[in-house]
Structure 1
Amino acid sequence: MTDTVLVTGLSGFIASHVAERLLGRGFAVRGTVRDKKKGQAIVDKLAVNGVDVTALELVEADLDSDAGWHDAVQDCRYIQHIASPFPLEAPSDREALVPAARAGTMRVLENGFGAGAERIVMTSSMVAMMGQKGRGSHMRVTEDDWSDPDWRPLTAYPVSKTRAELSAWAYVDAQPQTDRERLTTVCPGIVFGPDTYKNGGASLGLIKAMFEGEFPRVPKVAYPIIDVRDCAAIHVKAMTQKEAGGRRLMAAGETLWFQQIAEILAKAYPQAEKLPKSEFPNLMVRLVGLFDDRVKGVLPDLGIFHEADAAYVSSLTHVMPRPAKEAILAAAASLVANGDVKLPS
């Protein structure tokens, strides 16, 4: 009998690649979407890209509502909970995204474990690890690191991801019938890679903004990078690898400064004249951040080189993240091919 995996938020960037990988390995996939008609566009794109979608079904379920979740989890051996609020622009209220992220997580965990799911893999983020004061200029991020959601400089997205993941672990620890090993969280860094299904808008927004000249210069920040294909591979391995149970797995490879990302793009696309040429002074970024919520999100990380101590993830999953340059250029090539980035002729 074919095992069924529930993938929440199937139309998302990471989720669609997870679904592709699961289908290719013989699993049946049930994907949650807010609207079946819109979700069908992803199914069609999967098929166009050569994926056999005969074992893929869509169900409507929204993180903000109880409706649909009881039925969605039925007969699912595993659950990939990937859906989460991810705004293109950060709300000024730092707690604004928490209710939906936390309540949605609880709906998936309660219904999923209640229906007998063997393991739930939940997508968190490295922003749930890095956001703490006193990091110094070089932070080596470990599995045991947690962001402090009460630290005032943190903005809405990292606060929501941290509170949601903390709530997930608190939930399983409070359930005597639910072993901690039945939950695994995956914490990606910046996710680049090919926009195969034309749904990478939020994840690839930084690269698109660089091409379009939104950043004449870039802030001095550096984060670990992961290709979406490797991120998906880690998700799938986390689902079935016994030793991954109860762990927080960083999906993270090489770390680059934003300026290094711009330099890689400039070398590959010398005709792209709007790409950033240098870095903003930290003081200028802080001043702009007082008025621009998009900039405010990087203020806690200015001047800090975040390095992922993620060798344990490769040992557990046997996934070796590809070089950051490859992920960046794959993202850029997709944006150009899809018409999202217009290059001068």
Structure 2
Amino acid sequence: MLSDNKRVLPAGSTILVTGVSGFIGSHVADQLLSAGYLVRGTTRDPTKSSWLPTFFDNKYGKGKFDLITVVDTAEAGAFDSALEGVSGVIHVASDMTFGPDPNLVITPTVASTLNILRAAAEHASVKRVVLTSSCASAASPGLVRAIEVDSWNDEAISQAWAPPPYEPSRGFSVYAASKAQSEKEAWKWYEESKPGFVLNAVLPSMNFGKSLDPVSQGHPSTSGLIQGVFHNDVETVSNNGAQYFFIDVQDNALLHVAALLHPDIRQERIFAYAAPYTWRGVQKVVQGLYPERPLGPEFPDAEPDASTIVPAPRAEFLLKEMGRDGWTSLEECVKLNTEDLV
């Protein structure tokens, strides 16, 4: 972690984290609390997130974490009270339904992103805003290419907005387009509006790794795919997870914190791609970690994605600046993702 005198926001500042109960959001909050910040987290459904205040109170003490409800993040004024006294914002919340209708996914996702940026601009206390984008904002899996700092997934945008019918097979393209369009619109707004805060974006690849609380949180989002490999569920994993690049969720969360606090990160897209993976490769890691477990059907062999992620070394450098040795390996990441399952 950066020393106190290098951070652009002092410890003890309040940071707003949207989508705080999700896999990424909960780890972002955990990293911030560990670094001495106060966290105000938003959730759409407080009943599903009720475990989080108890978890953080027990880990860091009462009064460090506050959970608030924002049902409709695209509604004007939704974040006004949430931003009172806030020094930084990490906007993680997004539509993860993979619905195929772009009008129901892309339009509100873009509106939510612009809504929180505009609201933050009205609060002079806000000095930094970090947007959780996605590797899908730059490109979709399946085509070997060089990913540059200015790469955008225009192909997914075209696919997402093709005329109906909106078949379920279009779900990933709609999701990818929602991330690409919301990030594009965020940068456009930022350049035109010139607010008083610094904007950065993090583009994570597939997130694997530990759950904060396996009992209460389970294995949410993409961490559930590693659970599927552990349980030899070849069909579900193969049908729901592309073979692309991964990042450990704690590394990803720390890069978000870097984007919030590091003085040298300004108007930057951080490409959080650790390394390529295949499901057969993950299965071999699980076999090596738990040789006594019965082996189910093997995942089909596949070649790892050979795309070149030009900005990835910059992200790893920033990770080291934050105190890590570098990217968490696939082996360690899978171990963290499965050790509570044994």
TM-score with structure 1 length normalisation?
0.80
**Structure 1 residues 304-319: aligned runs within 5 Å:** 304-309=305-310, 310-317=312-319, 318-319=321-322
1:163 aligns with 2:181: yes
Aligned equivalent of 1:206, options 218, 222, 225: 225
**Structure 1 residues 82-161: aligned runs within 5 Å:** 82-87=92-97, 90-94=98-102, 96-116=104-124, 117-131=126-140, 135=143, 138-148=144-154, 149-152=156-159, 155-161=173-179
**What RMSD over aligned residues (CA atoms) do the two structures have, in Å?**
2.7
Q: For residues 183-215 of structure 1, give each alpha carbon's deviation from its aligned partner in whole angstroms, at most 9, with x where no partner exists.
A: 100011111111123434212132233334442
Residue type of the alignment partner of 2:128: R
Residue type of the alignment partner of 1:312: R
Q: Distance in 2 between matches of 1:161 and 1:275?
A: 35
Aligned length: 308
Which deviates more from structure 2 when the two are superposed, residues 190-199 or residues 5-14?
190-199
Q: Distance in 2 between matches of 1:327 and 1:303?
A: 17
Distance 1:265 1:139, change over 3 A: farther
Q: Distance in 2 between matches of 1:104 and 1:267?
A: 43
Query: Which position in structure 1 is the counterpart of 2:207?
Result: 191
State the identity %: 23
TM-score with structure 2 length normalisation?
0.81
Describe the SS at the equivalent of 1:191: strand
Residue type of the alignment partner of 2:204: P
1:222 aligns with 2:239: no
Which deviates more from structure 2 when the two are superposed, residues 318-327 or residues 239-248?
318-327
Q: Is the 8 A contact 1:6 1:73 kept in 2?
A: yes
Q: Distance in 2 between matches of 1:12 and 1:51?
A: 19
Residue type of the alignment partner of 2:339: A
Q: Is the 8 A contact 1:211 1:274 kept in 2?
A: no
Aligned equivalent of 1:333, options 332, 335, 339: 339
Query: Which position in structure 2 is the counterpart of 1:254?
Result: 275
Q: Distance in 2 between matches of 1:92 and 1:270?
A: 40
1:73 aligns with 2:83: yes
Distance 1:70 1:234, change over 3 A: same
> Structure 1 unaligned runs (5+)?
282-301, 338-345
Residue type of the alignment partner of 1:256: Y
Alpha-carbon offset, residue 11 of structure 1: 0.8
Q: Distance in 2 between matches of 1:106 and 1:256?
A: 34
> Structure 2 unaligned runs (5+)?
1-9, 160-169
Describe the SS at the equivalent of 1:84: coil
Describe the SS at the equivalent of 1:22: helix
Q: Distance in 2 between matches of 1:45 and 1:86?
A: 24
Residue type of the alignment partner of 2:253: A
